[in-house]
Chain A
C-alpha cells in the first residue's frame, strides 16, 4: 500500500506540474500572438504610447534595445524563454521589471477575488438552506421569492450592478466610499458585493437544487427515522452532498471573478491586476500583458488543485482504494 501510495502521489505531483507548465506555455503563446497579430507597434509603448513624436533614430534605438528588430518568431522564443525562466522582463511603457508591477498589483486583486468568493458562498449557502428548510405558508412564499432572486442575481452584469451600488450606497446614502483608499476595508465593500452577488445567484441555484434532492433522498429519510433532528440531517448528511457540485465549479467561478475584477477595478478606481492589464493592453505593453495573464493562469492551476483537494475531503468515494468495483 505505502509503496504504491508514494508512487501514486509522485505521479499526481508530476501530472499537476506538467499541467501547470502546459497552461503557462499555451497562455503565453496565445497572448503574445493575439497582441502582435492585432496590429500596432509595441515600440510605441516604449516611446510613450500611440502617437508619440519620437524621431527615427530614437525608434531604431528602442527597437534594438528591446529586441523588437528581430523576426517575430525569435521575439516569441525570447518571450517564452523569459516566461519559463520566471524572468518576465521589463515593461515597455513603465521601464520597471514586470515582476515588480505584478507584486505591487496582485495582492489587491487577490483580496478582492477571495473576499468575493467567500461572500458569494456565504450568501449561496444561506439562501439555499433557507429556501429548502422553509416551512409553513409564509416560509414557502419566501422560498419562492429567494428562488426568483437567485435567477435575477445570477444574470446581473457587473458594470450595471456596480453603477447601481455606487449611486445608492455611495452617492445617496454615503454608507461606503465609491473609490478605493489603500488600507480602508470600507472601500472594499461595494466592489466585493458587486462581484459576489451574481456569483452567489449562480452558486445558490446549484446548492439549492442538490440540497432539495438530498433532503428527499432515502438516506435522509433513514437518518430522520433514527431520530436525527433537521439540523443534524443538514449538518451530517445533506449539506455535504449539496455543496459538492458547487465546489467543483468554484475553480471556474474564481476565473469569472478575475475577469469581473477587470471591470470592477476600473469602475471603482481600484488598483489591481485588472486595471494593470487594461492599461498595458491599450498600449501593447507585451511583457506586462503576458506576465499578468500567466500569473492569472497559474492562479487557476493552483485553484484547481485546491478544488480537487476539497472534493477529495468532501467525497471519500473519489479516493483511491475506496473505488467502486463494478458489479456486472
Chain B
C-alpha cells in the first residue's frame, strides 16, 4: 500500500534520527526518527502533550521558544543536505526561511498586526540576503508571486493590507505565503487548520496539497485526523515523546496497530448519536419567532448595515439537544446572543417557557436567568484568573463545588487549581460544571470542542450526553457537523443569517437538501478519501 513516488531514492529533504529534546530534567522528545522526501507529506499526530509542537520548533532550532532553555541532541539532523547537529544560533538563522519554513496555528497572532502583509512576507527575503534572494526577481514581484501561489486573489491589494483587515482564511494563506516566499524545500506546519472553520480549512489543505505536488516536502503536525486523511502520504503517531506507530496514511487510519492510534481514531466524532434517545418532552422550552438583527457597518453611515440574523425561527423542546451549524459569519453567534437575551432582536421575539423573554427589561429577566446557562467559546477568558476553581464554582452559585466537579468527572484536587494551570479539557469541564451550578433547564454551548484534540473532544461530548440524559436541554453551536451529529437530535443549518435547512440530524446527514449543508458535510467527514489530489 506504499504510495509510490518518483524521488524516493534521492536523499530525503529532512532526515532525523534519535532526536532528543529536554527542558531541564524533563525529556519531551525521546529518540525520534523521521524522514521526509521532496513532494511528500508526513503527518505527525498524537494526543496533547505528546511533544508535537516541540518537534515542529526543534526542526527550526527554536525548541527553546517560550522561556525554558532546551537541550537538543540527535544522531542525525539534516535539512536539505545540511548537517545541523549542534548548529549554533547563527547557523540556524541561515537555514530558517530559506531551507525550512514554519507555519503556526493562529494566523492572527502569527502575523505581526502592525505590519503590512508585504512587510511580513518579504521578511525572509531581507534576512537571507544571500544567493536565494540575489540574482532573481525583485522583492515586490516575489512577494506577489508567493501570495498568488498561496491562492490569494488580488495579491497587490492584499500586500498593502494589514492582517487585521483580512479574514481568517486569507490570513492563513498570507502566513503560508510568508513561509514559502524563499521557496524552502521543507515546510513545517504546526496545526495549520485548527483555528479555521471547516470549509476554509478544506481550501487551505487543498493549497498545501498543491505545494506538495509541486515538490515541497511537508511535515504536518496536527491533531486533526481529517486533515491527515486528506493530504498526508505517511503518518507518524507520537505518544509521550516517542513514535509508537508509523506507516502509509491509509493503512494507519484503517488498520491501526498501536493502542494510541486506535484511541485517536475511536475518539473521532463519527457515527450517529447512540440510542436510546433520552426523554424529550413535547412542550417547548425556548422559542424564537421571526428573529432579525442588523448591525451598522463602521464608516458607512446610517445606510450601511449588515443583517446578521434574518427572519429565523427556532424552537428548543424540554430535554432536547439542538445543533446550530454554519460557516463563520453565518449568524450563529448573533442567534446565540438573541436566544440568551444578551441582545434584543430588531424584529421578532424570544419566549422562555411560553412567557416573554427577549421583550422584558433585564431586571425582570434576572430571576429567570438561572434557567438558561451559557458555556462560552473562550472558556479561559470567562474565568477570573486570580480565583481558584472552588471560588469560581461558588461564585456561580454552587453550594458543594467538589460534588459538582465529580459530576463532570473531575477529582476534588481540581478545586484548588487556578484556571490557567488546567488543561484545555479540564477547563471545558469546569466551565460546564459552572454552568450546571444553578441547575439550568437549558445549556447553550458555543463551539464547546473546537479547540480540543479528538480524544479530549470525545470525553466532553460523552459528558454533555450525560448532562442531556439527566434532563437538561442543549443548544450546541458549532461549525462541525460531525460533532453535532454525535450529540444532537435536531439540527438547524444557518447561512447568511437564514435557516437553509432544518430537521432530524440523521435525515440531514443522509440527505442534505441545501448546497451549504453539502459543503459542511464534505468538510466534516473526518476520515474519508483523500481530497487533496
A positions within 8 Å CB-CB of B: 216-219, 221-229, 232, 236-237, 240-241, 314-317, 320-328
Contact = CB atoms under 8 A, between A and B. Distances in A.
A217 B165 CA distance: 19
Central interface residue in A218, A236, A241, A314, by most chain B CB within 10 Å = A218
A274 to B, nearest CB: 38
A143 B364 CA distance: 55
B271 interface: no
A229 B93 contact: yes
Interface stretch (B77-85, B99-107, B204-212): B99-107
A311 B113 CA distance: 14
B329 interface: yes
A221 B298 CA distance: 33
B115 interface: yes
Given A317-B164, A324-B165, A221 B65 contact: yes
Contact of B110 (A219, A232, A240, A321): A219
A229 B329 contact: no
Contacts of B65: 216, 221, 224
Interface of B: 57, 60, 62, 65-67, 93-98, 101-102, 104-106, 109-115, 119, 123-124, 127-128, 162, 164-165, 167-168, 175, 178-179, 295, 297-299, 306, 308, 328-329, 331, 333-334
Given A224-B96, A227-B128, A316 B162 contact: yes
A68 to B, nearest CB: 54
A241 B167 contact: no
Contact of B109 (A218, A314, A327): A218
18 contacts: A216-B66, A219-B112, A221-B66, A222-B175, A222-B178, A223-B112, A224-B60, A224-B65, A225-B101, A226-B97, A227-B93, A227-B96, A227-B98, A228-B93, A241-B114, A317-B164, A322-B164, A328-B333
Contacts of A316: 114, 162
B392 to A, nearest CB: 25
Given A222-B178, A328-B334, A232 B127 contact: yes
A325 B62 contact: no
Given A218-B109, A221-B62, A227 B114 contact: no
Nearest to B119: A236
A327 B94 contact: no
Most A CB within 10 A of own CB, among B65, B98, B331: B65
A316 B112 CA distance: 12
Given A228-B127, A237-B115, A325 B109 contact: no
Contacts of A320: 299
A233 to B, nearest CB: 10
Contact of B299 (A222, A236, A323): A323
Given A216-B67, A221-B65, A226 B123 contact: yes
B110 A218 contact: yes
A225 B60 contact: yes
B199 to A, nearest CB: 15
Nearest to B297: A325
A225 B96 contact: yes
A325 B328 CA distance: 14
B219 to A, nearest CB: 13
A223 B122 CA distance: 11
Contacts of A317: 113-114, 162, 164
B69 to A, nearest CB: 9
Given A227-B128, A228-B127, A324-B164, A237 B308 contact: no
Contacts of A323: 298-299
Given A225-B102, A226-B127, A229-B127, A219 B111 contact: yes
Contacts of A236: 115, 119, 123
Contacts of A227: 93-98, 124, 127-128
B386 to A, nearest CB: 17
Across the A-B interface, the 9 shortest Cβ-Cβ residue pairs: A225-B102, A227-B97, A227-B127, A227-B96, A226-B97, A218-B109, A226-B124, A218-B110, A219-B112
Nearest to B96: A227
Nearest to B181: A226
Contacts of A223: 112, 123
Nearest to A214: B112
Contact of B329 (A225, A226, A321, A328): A328
A216 B66 CA distance: 6
A217 B111 CA distance: 10
Given A222-B102, A226-B179, 4 more contacts: A225-B102, A226-B101, A317-B114, A327-B167
Contact of B97 (A217, A225, A237, A241): A225
A313 to B, nearest CB: 11
Contacts of A325: 165, 297-298
Contacts of A218: 104-106, 109-110
A314 B298 CA distance: 22
A326 B95 CA distance: 38
A322 B111 contact: no
Contacts of A237: 112, 114-115
Contact of A219 (B105, B109, B334): B109
